[in-house]
């Protein structure tokens, strides 16, 4: 039984979907005005692993990931009143492009990175700009129910009207009053009220008509509108980075629950931050990385994927180049193992000593690691143990083809969860090399080591390596 840590209840809970066998999952997607960095990749990868494991367990998962193509407002922007900057529009002005051109360009780049990382594409990527009517509908219902108020073309959510405000983040109004240093918007009733809609100035590029005049939506309302549009009023799972918990997800709960009068999300799943060299990533500190920077250092996206899986999503992860190198070695180890399993079984002439399908034991261990709040580092450790055991058997020539095939099948099943790409290295050994190897074996058996060395050289000259196993058996590698 899968147990997941729920940010809402602050404990691990047995996962249960609303509809048996089906899961509706929403992930906050990118604001498309720049390239995503490796911290963002971590968040999308964690959602990917969770989704893949749910599929492994037999669920049919519908995954929605939004594209924020209206630059969302920060609290500071709101505090500055009508001139709230739109990040996409700002970039558009600086690059002499339209906001749409900017948004489409970075959306495309985002999808390319996801593809390179082997992150399964969401079933749908709704764009915020295509869902303004849905946002207006929710805002109107909130005004009608008096959870929201309009002033001078701006609409705010009145946080004092929702008793449960703060239940996700712990930032209840009482807690917020301590140390609150938010500037007040002249039209806000309470400093912690958040914008649902803002009046657009003449210069503002992205704006829409609404019952409150020409304006644009706040960021939080986008996710409430798009998630419920595609998944219904109550979602099974909502994912995001820990920085989304407040104010973004707290606001999503307030808007959605006050409007639908239903629970918004059953499981809130948040990943912790990724640090680089022990520090928060920042462009000025020079420790800000995109996937491109990792590739330029000679590593692959696949190695990056393994690195990210090597730490639990709820622990802070520290990216270092040493850890990257370790991930590269580990991927090589997995890759060699898979290819050895494929090759040795065909070439080895060993006698079978014991025949047990021990992949079941490893399957149980893998599942118990994953069932425990998607513990990927532990699940990988299980695989490394399996590699050690089978490599030992291969070197002692104790692994028969059937067992090797069972282990390979097991690996293929669980690698649908890990999503690592293992390059096919199955080598077809030409018949003349096989003949030379057999001749060499006979020479060794009869103690004719000069001939055996000669034959080894011949084999090596042809580009193959021969590795001796127990009882004069051997393994040929390219
Ligand atoms: Zn969101």
Is the confidence at residue 80, as pLDDT, over 50?
no
Q: Whole-angstrom Cα distance, residue 455 to residue 435?
A: 10
| Cis amide leading into 340 (omega within 30) | no
CB 203 within 8 A of CB 92: no
The answer to whether residues 120 and 197 belong to one domain is yes
- What is the domain extent for residue 452? 431-477
Determine the distance separating the centroid of ligand 1 and the alpha carbon of 243, expressed in angstroms.
Answer: 11
Residue 299: band (very low, low, confident or very high) from pLDDT cuts 50, 70, 90: very high
**Quick one: pLDDT band at residue 72, thresholds 50, 70, 90?**
low
Whether residue 42 is found in the same domain as residue 173: yes
Look up the CATH number of the domain holding residue 47: 3.40.50.620
Does the structure show a pLDDT above 50 at 402?
yes
| Beta-strand relationship, 215-217 and 194-199 | antiparallel
CA distances from 182 to 82, 152, 250 (A): 16, 21, 17
Q: Single out the residue in 418, 447, 465 at which a domain terminates.
A: 418
**416 alpha carbon – ligand 1 mean position (Å):** 27
Predicted confidence band of residue 81 (pLDDT cuts 50, 70, 90): very low
Quick check: 347 pLDDT over 50? no
The answer to whether residue 338 sits within a structural domain is yes
pLDDT at 271 over 90: yes
Confidence of residue 231 (pLDDT cuts 50, 70, 90): very high
Model confidence, pTM: 0.87
Decide if 403 is inside a domain.
yes
Please tell me whether residues 394 and 262 are part of one structural domain: no
Q: Is residue 350 scored above 50 in pLDDT?
A: no
Centre of ligand 1 to C-alpha 132, Å, is 15
The contacts of residue 144 (CB under 8 Å, 6+ apart) are none
Residues 251 and 194 in one domain: yes
* Residue 19: closest CA among 234, 230, 229: 234
Of the listed ranges 124-133, 215-224, 462-471, the least confidently predicted one is: 462-471
Centroid of ligand 1 to alpha carbon of 217 (angstroms): 13
Which residues have a beta carbon within 5 Å of ligand 1, which is an ion? 28, 223
Q: Please answer whether residues 467 and 474 qualify as being in contact, where contact means their C-beta atoms are separated by less than 8 angstroms.
A: yes
Task: Tell me which of 271, 289, 304 is where a domain ends.
Answer: 271
The answer to whether residues 205 and 233 belong to one domain is yes
In the prediction, which pLDDT does 167 show? 97
Mean pLDDT over all residues of the chain? Answer: 90
Within a domain: 280? no
Same-domain status, 241 and 127: yes
pLDDT score at 71: 67
Mark whether 375 and 239 lie in a shared domain. Answer: no
- Same domain? For 221 and 343 the reply is no
Same structural domain, 370 and 459: no
State the pLDDT at residue 181: 56
Domain boundary among 271, 304, 332: 271
Q: Residue 226 and residue 135: Cα distance in Å, rounded?
A: 8
Q: Give the range among 60-69, 81-90, 154-163, 323-332 with minimum mean pLDDT.
A: 81-90
CATH number of the domain to which 377 belongs: 1.20.120.640
Query: Do 54 and 24 sit in the same domain of this protein?
Result: yes
Pick the range with the lowest mean pLDDT from 185-194, 247-256, 339-348. Answer: 339-348
pLDDT of residue 183: 56
Dihedral over Cα of 139, 140, 143, 147: its sign: negative
Question: How confident is the model at residue 9, as a pLDDT?
Answer: 98
What distance in angstroms lies between residue 240's CA and the mean position of ligand 1's atoms? 8
**Same domain flag for 202 and 74:** yes
Examine the domain organization and report whether 153 and 79 are in the same domain: yes
Given a cut of 90, whether residue 78 has pLDDT beyond it is no
- Percent of the chain exceeding pLDDT 70 equals 92
Q: How many domains does the chain have?
A: 3
Per residue in 430-450, pLDDT tens? 888 888 988 998 999 899 999
pLDDT band at 203 (very low <50, low <70, confident <90, very high): confident
Is 106 inside any structural domain?
Answer: yes
Residue 426 lies in a domain: no
Whether 79 has a pLDDT exceeding 50, the answer reads: no
Q: What's the 209 CA to ligand 1 centre distance in angstroms?
A: 23
The pLDDT value given to residue 368: 98
What tens digit of pLDDT does each residue of 357-386 get?
678 899 999 999 999 999 999 999 999 999
Residue 171 lies in a domain: yes
Distance 409 CA to ligand 1 centre (A): 38
Mean pLDDT of 290-299: 95
β-pair partners for 62:
24
Say if residue 75's pLDDT is above 90.
no
Taking the centre of ligand 1 as the mean of its atom positions, its distance from the CA of residue 413, in whole angstroms, is: 32
**Does any domain span residue 37?**
yes
361 lies in a domain? Answer: yes
């Amino acid at each position: 039984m899968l147990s997941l840590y729920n940010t809402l209840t602050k404990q691990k809970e047995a996962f249960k979907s609303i509809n048996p066998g089906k899961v509706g999952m929403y992930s906050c997607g990118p604001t498309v005005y720049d390239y995503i960095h490796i911290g963002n990749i971590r968040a999308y990868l964690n959602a990917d692993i969770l989704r893949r494991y749910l599929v492994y367990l037999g669920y049919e998962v519908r995954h929605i990931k939004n594209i924020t193509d209206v630059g969302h407002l920060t609290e500071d922007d709101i505090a500055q009143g009508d001139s709230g900057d739109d990040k996409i529009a700002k970039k558009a002005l600086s690059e002499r492009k339209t906001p749409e051109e900017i948004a489409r360009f970075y959306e495309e780049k985002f999808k390319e990175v996801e593809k390179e990382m082997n992150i399964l594409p969401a079933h749908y990527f709704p764009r915020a700009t295509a869902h303004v009517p849905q946002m207006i509908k929710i805002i109107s219902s909130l005004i009608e129910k008096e959870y929201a108020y309009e002033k001078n073309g701006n609409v705010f959510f009145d946080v004092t009207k929702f008793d449960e405000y703060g239940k996700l983040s712990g930032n209840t109004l009482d807690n917020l009053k301590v140390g609150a240093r938010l500037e007040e918007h002249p039209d806000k009733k309470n400093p912690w009220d958040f914008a649902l809609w803002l009046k657009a100035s003449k210069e503002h590029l992205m704006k829409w008509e609404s019952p409150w005049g020409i304006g644009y939506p706040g960021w939080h309302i986008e996710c409430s509108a798009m998630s419920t549009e595609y998944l219904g009023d109550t979602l099974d799972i909502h994912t995001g980075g820990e920085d989304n918990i407040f104010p973004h997800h707290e606001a999503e709960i307030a808007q959605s629950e006050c409007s639908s009068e239903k629970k918004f999300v059953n499981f809130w799943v948040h990943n912790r931050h990724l640090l680089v060299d022990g520090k928060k990533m920042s462009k000025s500190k020079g420790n800000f990385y995109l996937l491109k920077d990792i590739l330029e250092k000679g590593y692959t996206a696949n190695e990056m994927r393994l690195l990210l899986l090597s730490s639990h999503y709820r622990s802070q992860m520290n990216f270092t180049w040493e850890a990257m190198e370790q991930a590269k070695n580990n991927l090589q180890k997995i890759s060699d193992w898979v290819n050895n399993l494929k090759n040795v079984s065909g070439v080895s002439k060993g006698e079978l000593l014991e025949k047990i399908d021990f992949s079941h034991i490893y399957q149980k261990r893998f599942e118990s690691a994953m069932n425990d709040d998607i513990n990927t580092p532990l699940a990988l450790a299980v695989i490394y143990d399996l590699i050690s055991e089978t490599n030992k058997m291969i070197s002692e020539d104790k692994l028969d083809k059937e067992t090797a095939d069972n282990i390979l099948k097991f690996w293929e099943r669980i690698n649908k969860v890990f999503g690592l790409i293992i390059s096919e290295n199955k080598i077809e050994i030409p018949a003349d090399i096989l003949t030379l190897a057999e001749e060499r074996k006979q020479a060794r058996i009869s103690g004719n080591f000069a001939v055996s060395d000669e034959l080894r050289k011949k084999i090596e000259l042809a580009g193959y390596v021969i590795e001796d196993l127990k009882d004069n058996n051997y393994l040929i590698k390219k």
